[in-house]
């Protein structure tokens, strides 16, 4: 598993072949990293940097340049943010542009300006299109990478989309909105609200598990990881209170990984009701938490900005239906948080928030399995 570590200006490599993660090394990338994209077919990991470049890291164990930066690609003077890989190309969100990089040459071949700040680009292998979210435009833009142009726009009805993951087999996208989660039919742009968790940040999809994961990090409400089926039906959620903005699925060990100030947390989706599974996880965390504390490993993504945008949306910029859904889901998660506290600390225990956990210098992370 790879983690963008802004504090150490590198990408941390973590062995998750067993149920207890083991830190291996940090690959220095020369600047604070943001999004990551893994090109398994060419043994390259791409990292977008805050200073407007993308680096390529060699992930081939047989190579002499294994786990070193082999290429650096400039995307201009804007930050290289979230990204995705597909169709032998890397798609990078940068300002209002989606920058397209040819993975064979590691050269920028085109840029598509959607005229609004973008968040998450995702490649859809089913139709060969790229879909990118824009909260400011309340839109998902469909981009034809061969033509380097916007070919469709899907208005999201107050969603203000940020995170996005795609199940190509169903032509279905799951979208993290400012105060809700929505499922989008990528064939026509129709969407529906999905209950379960109050909003979210980074969304991921595992084709092997046929599961979506939505990480919802909140400063004032319980932080959770929501698990959804491949057809975007809510299955369950785990209350983490760790403000992890991303989660990944390890299909080898059937674990979901997310983050906390102490390091990495994991849970098994079929048994992630609060009190049992997370109590077990907290107890076993000590086995491998110490190295992460020493390395200041905190994997939180866009916390301050996203929390402010959520508060604004909850106060009126989202539609009434989304606000009602947000309040309902929030109430459920608060109750689950109380159950979690009781199961770990005992009833009647007052939990105080650690003021040092408010800010986090971490970027995204990527499961290599």
d(CA 202, CA 345): 29
Strand partners, 264: 259
- Mean pLDDT, the chain, integer: 79
Domains in the chain, CATH or no CATH each:
33-343+359-366 (2.130.10.10)
d(CA 243, CA 361): 12
The answer to whether the beta carbons of residues 107 and 100 sit under 8 Å apart is no
Backbone angles phi, psi at 350, to 5 degrees: -90, 125
**pTM for the full model?**
0.78
User: pLDDT for 133-190, tens place per residue?
Assistant: 999 999 999 999 999 999 999 999 999 999 999 999 999 999 999 888 999 999 999 9
Q: What is the pLDDT of residue 314?
A: 47
The answer to whether the beta carbons of residues 176 and 146 sit under 8 Å apart is no
Low-confidence ranges of the chain (pLDDT < 70): 219-221, 241-242, 260-262, 270-369
% of the chain exceeding 90 in pLDDT? 53
User: pLDDT for 25-61, tens place per residue?
Assistant: 999 999 999 999 999 999 999 999 988 999 999 999 9
Give me the count of residues in the chain. 369
Contacts of 348 (CB under 8 A, 6+ apart): none
d(CA 245, CA 208): 22
Q: 3-class DSSP state for residue 294?
A: helix
Q: What is the pLDDT of residue 142?
A: 98
% of the chain exceeding 70 in pLDDT? 70
* DSSP states of 175-227: EE-SS-EEEEETTT--EEEE-SSS--S-EEEETTTTEEEEEE--SSS--EEEE
d(CA 324, CA 367): 34
Backbone angles phi, psi at 39, to 5 degrees: -105, 90
Q: CB neighbours (10 Å) of residue 361? A: 16
């Amino acid at each position: 598993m790879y983690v963008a570590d802004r504090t150490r200006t590198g990408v941390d490599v973590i062995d998750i072949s067993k149920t207890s993660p083991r830190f291996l090394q940090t690959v220095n990338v020369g600047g604070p990293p943001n999004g990551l994209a893994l090109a398994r077919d060419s043994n390259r990991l791409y990292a977008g940097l805050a200073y407007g470049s993308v680096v390529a890291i060699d992930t081939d164990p047989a190579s002499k340049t294994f786990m070193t930066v082999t290429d650096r690609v400039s995307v201009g003077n804007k930050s290289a943010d979230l990204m995705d890989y597909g169709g032998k190309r890397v798609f990078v969100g940068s300002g209002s542009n989606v920058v397209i990089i040819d993975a064979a040459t590691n050269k920028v071949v085109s840029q598509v300006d959607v005229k609004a700040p973008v968040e998450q680009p995702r490649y859809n292998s089913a139709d060969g299109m790229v879909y990118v979210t824009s909260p400011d435009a309340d839109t998902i833009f469909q981009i034809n990478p061969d033509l380097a142009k916007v070919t469709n726009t899907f208005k999201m009805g107050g969603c203000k989309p940020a995170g996005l993951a795609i199940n190509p087999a169903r032509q279905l996208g799951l979208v993290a909105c400012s105060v809700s989660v929505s499922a989008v039919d990528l064939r026509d742009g129709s969407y529906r609200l999905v209950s379960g968790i109050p909003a979210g940040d980074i969304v991921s999809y595992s084709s092997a598990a046929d599961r979506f994961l939505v990480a919802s990090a909140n400063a004032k409400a319980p932080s959770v990881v929501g698990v959804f089926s491949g057809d975007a039906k809510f299955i369950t959620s785990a209350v983490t209170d760790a403000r992890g903005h991303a989660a990944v699925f390890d299909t080898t060990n059937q674990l979901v990984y997310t983050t906390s100030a102490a390091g990495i947390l994991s849970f098994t989706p079929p048994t992630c009701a609060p009190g049992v599974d997370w109590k077990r996880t907290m107890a076993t965390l000590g086995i491998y938490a110490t190295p992460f504390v020493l390395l200041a490993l905190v994997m939180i993504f866009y916390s301050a900005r996203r929390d402010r945008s959520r508060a604004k949306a909850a106060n009126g910029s989202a539609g009434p239906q989304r606000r009602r859904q947000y309040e309902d889901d929030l109430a459920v998660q608060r109750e689950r948080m109380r159950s979690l506290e009781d199961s770990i600390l005992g009833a009647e225990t007052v939990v105080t928030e650690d003021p040092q956990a408010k800010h986090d210098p971490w970027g995204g992370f990527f499961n290599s399995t």
